[in-house]
């Protein structure tokens, strides 16, 4: 290998870099080489190229030193072999988005109506002024006026254009934001390469052919390459081949590494041979036309027209097309984005909120359609009967156009009723709210990859969190050690340790750890040294430095090439071992790992003289009791260092791991502290208050886990919660065949708080079990954090998966919904707050929108039926629609979240969008507005002493009367928008209004626009100017909304039993008893004082529950009587708490616990063995 470096010095690659075919192999040759697999590939490598080393030579790179990093050289490589970048799918142009927005059904109906109206206004029939056509001709007399007939049609078209542009602009900015987000995720993805002998991290896009890349467990390979040197490397190629088995990679069997595959185990180095569109992933993407349009067609076309060498691969690619999608394409993202246009099912079932909204919009739309149809029918019938029946006029041919003009006018009125009824602002509000939240969540260190995750998070009822790095600082330091028969409570002086023990520790740590882990000097003057790589290994390296030794010297002496065999760390082994060949032909193996695992394999231990003495089971038990458990109870992770020498005579069978990893000699046991993040206990308390159970799932030993859980506040002293180890957990939940039994799991999870020594499978089982469980009255919504490659399944299964931005592997990030850029648990709490805020914002918007809908529809309907003309004209209706849809969604969807959101329980999946309180507000305000408008409509002319606007003929000039009706209507909406800021019946609607500048801008802007429309709108808006006193009256009536809102607040919702909620989620046939108090007493605990009624409710409910239990017992025989009796006191005692507590926050807590505890108590009663087990594990 050395001569290889000598005969090609990396510096000279530039000197020759003058003519094209400079490198010893072309792009196509390398591409063809990468098509091959396993033995075939090895054969071709050796025959055509003479092995990997020669490929490096031809690519003018050194396997040890890497490229020179010279910019001209790198540029040249990019020109010859391409860049490591797969061009994204072209974004939709603004015009395409406009075209999409025009597809809206209501808008199409409006356009048709407007065009017909326009056409008819220009058509003047002969004899149009014939007396015989009756009063219909009355208004057409005036020549100037008939010219203005086109204005209404034009104005409708104009407002349609505005709506379309607003929608298209929203979509466009949303897409742009998402591309920005996507490219941010891509820019953050870095990869480790060697250049000029230095290990550096560069963005994936800068990797060139010829780079020497270091690969390790958890990486997502960014380019194709050939293995130069590997330790125990296993790769998951399912994203390319669809085969789930992990493929072992080695120099002699299968050295081909492909982009887009995941490193599941081991580490190594590869030389990059293909990047970007020439890599295997890139080839598939080009086949898919970079994911354009109809994938199927493209793949088929790609097969025929693609370069011949791709044909043999195209077989696998049909299956791949979908699997590979999330790698880098914008596809997945955009599809989810398009929920408005066509609901694509995103990666999980449709999000709760979308489901409820779609249902609600459909219901409202149907109602609107019926109303508008009735309006049109009544208008037409009334006109026909009045004209031809009552006045008895004949139908004259020359009058036909005039009559048709009337019918068109009626049709337009019907359409406007429909337009106002259909809340097309809903999707807009959701999108704005989500996009706004996502943008703001970036500031709170949440990088949201799937939009709906943000809103699902608001409903979360359980969080399963990792310990290391999330709850703790992930800054590990060795604080205690046991070596040479002595337990050092702090780091000993190096002189106190025998040189031979010290030597073993230094070698054991320096060699038996990934060479990528190192400790660098601090960035700031007085800062802590930087830990790079695996944090546990960094702690051990730090320990070596604390002992005043230098690990780098040892590593320089034994470079990675000299390591004979490496068993890398993985979640099954929970240990790592490295074998070195001694000069005498023997071998020495260093091991490190979790202390209970390594100590079981030790048969000797070094005594205080540094000599091995026998280590029996009884010694081990004593050591566990005296050393390991005390360390663990302080929350320390214990790591054991050991070694073993193999004689020179026969080489052991390295593949039988159990034989190799036995008969070890223990060198030392160290206790590593990973301090709890100072802000975590507070965050966990907030979660518990918000009705979210936090569970800790960790690979650490149970004592460490319990100590940390207690420090965090996950376990509270004196509470009866379970802490289980993975083994015990599996024993309790699996049947004899080893299958998971849901009933068994249901007995355990409600009380389980800590799962220690757990494998990724356990994590997945737990998450799946909680999600599938039917124990509570609500399906649980589970969030999970993960950082390792093997957390992928659990992250995918969870409702919301959080990956760690710093410690997380690429695989975990790929599977997640949200990336925590600071790896901090408090950011999860922020996500909950934002999620709940999205939900509330949409409820606020609904409350406002539906009030307008109800009023506008009823006014248009009755007005049309009584006066043959809608009091609110089409254009005015569209303006109201614009205020209430676009602007209100902007104003109400961008409310910033407040801490009080965390003081209520999650809404749950079946809670209706529109609660009883909101229904009360909607109907209450509708009553006020209708009363005012009808009073003005039928008595306004007397009150203001103006001409009546009713029964005005066609094309007559706008009247002051109707202008006042319109203006008052808009004023009431404006002030009601302020009322809509609160949805739980709070009195202070102005609270923190200044925190939302968008809201203030929208309200003032709308007000200004309204003044302009009324004073200068004229004919198009059917407005005539108003006097100052008339304006004051309009505004005064509007302010009345605020006072009326206070009046509505005083009516207790619980008395209004007849109010129904709307917008349910998936309906259950019967609502379980426990769910009732939530609905009846909709008022938010956090923002209201506790009511006496609630306590009575609890009591009454409790009695009902006990009676039901008793009845049930008599039906099923006495076996479960015990359960019922056990259950009663627990609930009753909780209600004593409720009575004595005055502060609202605790109430939320105790009622949260009631369901899990009761079911858990019942479970414990039903199966005594489980109960006893839980007794042993309680901290």
Burial-class residue 397 by CB neighbours within 10 Å (0-12, 13-18, 19+): exposed
* Size of the chain in residues: 1179
Question: For residue 438, what is the enclosing H or E element?
Answer: helix 425-443
Closest CA to 540 of 507, 565, 563, 566: 507
Q: What is the Cα–Cα distance from 895 to 906, expressed in whole angstroms?
A: 19
Q: What is the Cα–Cα distance from 700 to 476, expressed in whole angstroms?
A: 14
Q: Are 429 and 892 in contact (CB under 8 A)?
A: yes
Q: What is the Cα–Cα distance from 813 to 281, expressed in whole angstroms?
A: 18
Please identify which of the residues 232, 466, 823, 840 carries the catalytic annotation: 466
Annotated catalytic residue 466: yes
Contacts of 950 (CB under 8 A, 6+ apart): 867, 869, 937, 938, 961
Closest CA to 1026 of 1037, 1014, 1036, 1039: 1014
Contacts of 453 (CB under 8 A, 6+ apart): 800, 801, 817, 818
DSSP 870-919: -SS-HHHHHHHHHIIIIIHHHHHHTPPP-GGGGGS----TT--SB-HHHH
Q: What is the Cα–Cα distance from 24 to 22, expressed in whole angstroms?
A: 6
Q: Are 854 and 922 in contact (CB under 8 A)?
A: yes
DSSP state of 939: H
Question: For residue 280, what is the enclosing H or E element?
Answer: helix 280-287
In this structure, is the dihedral angle defined by the CA atoms of residues 1031, 1032, 1035 and 1036, taken in order, positive or negative?
Answer: negative
Residue 843 sits at the vertex; the CA angle it makes with 430 and 924, to the nearest 5 degrees, is 140
Q: Are 755 and 726 in contact (CB under 8 A)?
A: yes
Contacts of 436 (CB under 8 A, 6+ apart): 893, 894
Task: Spell out a b/e string for 1143-1155, using b for 16 or more CB atoms within 10 Å of the CB, else e.
Answer: ebebbbbbbbbbb
Strand blocks (E) in 698-791: 722-725, 752-756, 782-786
DSSP state of 1061: P
Q: Are 786 and 466 in contact (CB under 8 A)?
A: yes
Q: What is the Cα–Cα distance from 669 to 74, expressed in whole angstroms?
A: 48
The gap from C-alpha 377 to its chain's centroid, in whole angstroms, comes to 48
Residue 399 sits at the vertex; the CA angle it makes with 393 and 404, to the nearest 5 degrees, is 105
Closest CA to 212 of 226, 193, 187, 197: 193
Task: Spell out a b/e string for 770-788, using b for 16 or more CB atoms within 10 Å of the CB, else e.
Answer: beebebbbbbbbbbbbbbb
DSSP 1070-1114: S--GGGHHHHHS-S-TTTSPPPHHHHHHHHHHHHHHHHHHHHHHH
Contacts of 129 (CB under 8 A, 6+ apart): 137, 140, 141
Q: Are 482 and 627 in contact (CB under 8 A)?
A: yes
How crowded is residue 561: how many other Cβ atoms within 10 Å of its Cβ? Answer: 12
Q: Are 762 and 735 in contact (CB under 8 A)?
A: no
> Catalytic residues, which ones?
466
């Amino acid at each position: 290998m050395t001569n290889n470096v000598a005969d090609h010095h990396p510096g000279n690659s530039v000197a020759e870099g003058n003519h094209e075919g400079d490198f010893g192999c072309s792009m196509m040759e390398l591409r063809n080489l990468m098509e091959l697999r396993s033995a075939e590939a090895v054969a071709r490598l050796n025959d055509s190229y003479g092995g990997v080393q020669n490929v490096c030579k031809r690519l003018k790179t050194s396997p040890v030193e890497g490229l020179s990093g010279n910019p001209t050289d790198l540029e040249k490589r990019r020109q010859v072999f391409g860049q490591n970048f797969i061009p994204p799918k072209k974004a939709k142009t603004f015009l395409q988005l406009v075209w999409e927005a025009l597809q809206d059904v209501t808008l199409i109906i409006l356009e048709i109506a407007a065009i017909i109206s326009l056409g008819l206004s220009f058509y003047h029939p002969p004899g149009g002024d014939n007396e015989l056509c009756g009063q219909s001709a009355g208004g057409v007399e005036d020549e100037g006026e008939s010219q203005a007939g086109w204005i209404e049609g034009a104005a409708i078209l104009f407002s349609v254009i505005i709506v379309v542009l607003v929608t298209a602009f929203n979509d466009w900015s949303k897409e742009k934001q998402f591309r920005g987000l996507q490219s941010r995720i891509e820019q953050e993805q870095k990869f480790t390469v060697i250049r000029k002998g230095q290990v550096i991290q560069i963005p994936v896009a800068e990797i060139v052919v010829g780079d020497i890349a270091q690969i390790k467990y958890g990486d997502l390979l960014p380019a194709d390459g050939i293995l130069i040197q590997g330790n125990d490397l296993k790769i998951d190629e399912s994203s390319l081949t669809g085969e789930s088995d992990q493929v072992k990679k080695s120099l002699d069997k299968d050295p081909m590494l492909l982009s887009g595959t995941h490193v599941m185990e081991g580490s190594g180095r590869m030389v990059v041979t293909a990047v970007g569109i020439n890599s295997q992933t890139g080839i598939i993407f080009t086949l898919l036309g970079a994911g354009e349009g109809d994938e199927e067609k493209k793949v088929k076309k790609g097969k025929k027209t693609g370069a011949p060498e791709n044909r043999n691969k195209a077989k696998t690619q049909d299956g791949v097309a979908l699997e590979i999608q999330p790698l880098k394409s914008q596809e997945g993202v955009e599809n989810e984005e398009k929920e408005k246009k066509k609901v694509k099912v995103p990666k999980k079932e449709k999000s709760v909120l979308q489901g409820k909204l779609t249902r609600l919009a459909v219901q409202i739309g149907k109602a609107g359609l019926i109303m508008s149809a009735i309006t049109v029918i009544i208008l037409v019938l009334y006109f026909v009967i009045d004209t031809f029946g009552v006045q008895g006029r004949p139908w004259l041919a020359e009058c036909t156009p005039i009559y048709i003009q009337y019918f068109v006018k009626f049709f337009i009125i019907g359409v406007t009723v429909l337009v106002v009824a259909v809340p097309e602002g809903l999707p807009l509000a959701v999108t704005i709210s989500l996009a706004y939240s996502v943008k703001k969540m970036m500031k709170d260190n949440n990088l949201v990859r799937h939009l709906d995750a943000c809103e699902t998070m608001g409903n979360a009822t359980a969080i399963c969190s990792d310990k290391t790095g999330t709850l703790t600082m992930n800054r590990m330091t060795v604080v205690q050690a046991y070596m040479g028969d002595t337990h050092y409570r702090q780091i000993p002086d190096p002189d106190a340790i025998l040189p031979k023990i010290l030597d073993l520790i230094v070698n054991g740590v320096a060699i038996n750890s990934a060479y990528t882990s190192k400790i660098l000097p601090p960035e700031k003057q007085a800062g802590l040294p930087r830990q790079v790589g695996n944090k546990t290994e960094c702690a051990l390296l730090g320990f070596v430095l604390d002992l005043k030794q230098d690990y780098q010297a040892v590593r320089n002496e034994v470079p990675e090439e000299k390591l004979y065999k490496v068993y890398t760390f993985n979640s099954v082994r929970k240990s790592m071992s490295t074998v070195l060949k001694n000069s005498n032909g023997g071998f020495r193996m260093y091991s490190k790992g979790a202390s209970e695992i390594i100590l079981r394999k030790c048969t000797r231990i070094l005594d205080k003289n540094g000599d091995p003495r026998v280590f029996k089971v009884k010694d081990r038990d004593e050591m566990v009791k005296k050393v390991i458990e005390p360390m663990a109870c302080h929350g320390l992770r214990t790591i054991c260092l050991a070694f073993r020498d193999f004689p020179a005579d026969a080489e052991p069978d390295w593949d039988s791991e159990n034989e190799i990893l036995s008969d070890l000699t223990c060198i030392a046991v160290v206790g590593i502290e990973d301090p709890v993040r100072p802000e975590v206990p507070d965050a966990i308390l907030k979660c518990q208050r918000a009705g979210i159970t936090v569970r800790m799932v960790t690979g650490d030993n149970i004592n460490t886990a319990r100590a940390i859980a207690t420090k965090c506040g996950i376990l509270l002293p004196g509470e009866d919660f379970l802490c289980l180890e993975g083994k015990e957990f599996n024993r309790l939940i699996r049947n004899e065949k080893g299958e998971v039994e849901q009933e068994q799991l249901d007995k355990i999870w409600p009380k389980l708080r800590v799962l220690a020594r757990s494998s990724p499978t356990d994590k997945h089982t737990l998450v799946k079990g909680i999600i599938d469980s039917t124990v509570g009255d609500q399906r649980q919504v589970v969030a999970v954090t993960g950082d390792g490659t093997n957390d992928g399944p659990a992250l995918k299964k969870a409702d919301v998966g959080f990956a760690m931005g710093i410690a997380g592997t690429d695989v975990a990030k790929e599977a997640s919904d949200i990336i925590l850029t600071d790896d901090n648990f408090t950011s999860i709490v922020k996500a909950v707050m934002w999620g709940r805020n999205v939900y509330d914002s949409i409820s606020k918007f609904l409350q406002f929108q539906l009030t307008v809908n109800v009023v506008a529809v009823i006014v248009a309907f009755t007005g049309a039926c009584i006066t043959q003309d809608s009091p609110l004209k089409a254009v005015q209706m569209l303006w109201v629609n614009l205020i209430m849809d676009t602007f209100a969604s902007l104003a109400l969807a961008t409310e910033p979240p407040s801490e009080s959101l965390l003081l209520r329980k999650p809404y749950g999946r079946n809670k209706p969008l529109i609660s009883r309180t909101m229904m009360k507000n909607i109907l209450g305000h509708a009553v006020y507005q209708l009363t005012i408008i009808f009073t003005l409509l039928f008595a306004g002319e007397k009150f203001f002493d103006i001409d009546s606007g009713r029964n005005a003929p066609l094309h007559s000039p706008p009247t002051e009367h109707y202008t006042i009706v319109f203006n008052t209507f808009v004023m009431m909406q404006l002030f009601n928008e302020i009322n809509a800021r609160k949805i739980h019946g709070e009195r202070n609607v102005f609270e923190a209004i200044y925190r939302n500048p968008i809201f203030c801008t929208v309200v003032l802007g709308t007000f200004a626009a309204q003044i302009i429309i009324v004073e200068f709108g004229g004919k198009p808006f059917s407005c005539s100017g108003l006097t100052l006193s008339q304006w004051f009256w309009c505004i005064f009536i509007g302010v009345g909304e605020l006072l009326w809102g206070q009046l509505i607040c005083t009516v207790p919702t619980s008395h209004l039993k007849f109010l129904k909620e709307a917008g349910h989620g998936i309906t259950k046939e019967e609502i379980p008893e426990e769910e009732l108090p939530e609905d009846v007493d909709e008022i938010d605990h956090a923002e209201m004082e506790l009511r006496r009624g609630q306590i009575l409710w609890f009591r009454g409910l409790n009695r009902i529950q006990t009676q039901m239990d008793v009845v049930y017992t008599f039906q099923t025989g006495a076996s479960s009587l015990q359960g019922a009796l056990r259950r009663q006191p627990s609930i009753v005692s909780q209600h004593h708490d409720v009575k004595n507590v005055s502060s609202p926050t605790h109430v939320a807590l105790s009622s949260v616990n009631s369901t899990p505890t009761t079911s858990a108590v019942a479970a414990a009663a039903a199966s005594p063995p489980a109960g006893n087990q839980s007794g042993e594990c309680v901290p």
